[in-house]
Amino acid sequence: MKISVTDRDGNKQILEADSNSTLMEIIRDEGIDIEAACGGCCACATCHVYIDNKWMHKLDPIDDDEESMLDQAFDVKKNSRLSCQIQMNDELDGLELELAPE
């Protein structure tokens, strides 16, 4: 499986992904600059990403904890999600996302 990540400089990278990882783990493990300060515990918003709109319907609905953390983030949009809360699966093969500003 693969995901397409656009970094904060506008550079697009195609990353290998597996279903045992969250999007945050995949991005971080590839060395792309994503802070992910809480390590994936949904206790910060430093892994904030924008999911391409055509993929939003394939994601699990946002839960209250994630929504609460996004309320504290900057530059939140309708397609904002925390990458630590999105578990990779076969349905998301080819997913496109952009890192939100720091």
What's the whole-model pTM score? 0.95
Distance of CA 86 to the CA centre of its chain: 7
8-37 core/surface letters (b: 16 or more CB in 10 A; e: else) = eeeeeeebebeeebbbbbbbbeeebebebe
Average pLDDT, the chain: 96
SS3 73: coil
**Structural domains of the chain, ranges and CATH numbers in brackets:** 2-99 (3.10.20.30)
Mind listing the pLDDT tens digit for each residue in 57-66?
999 999 999 9
**With 90 as the cut, is the pLDDT of residue 102 above it?**
no
pLDDT at res. 54: 98
**With 90 as the cut, is the pLDDT of residue 48 above it?**
yes
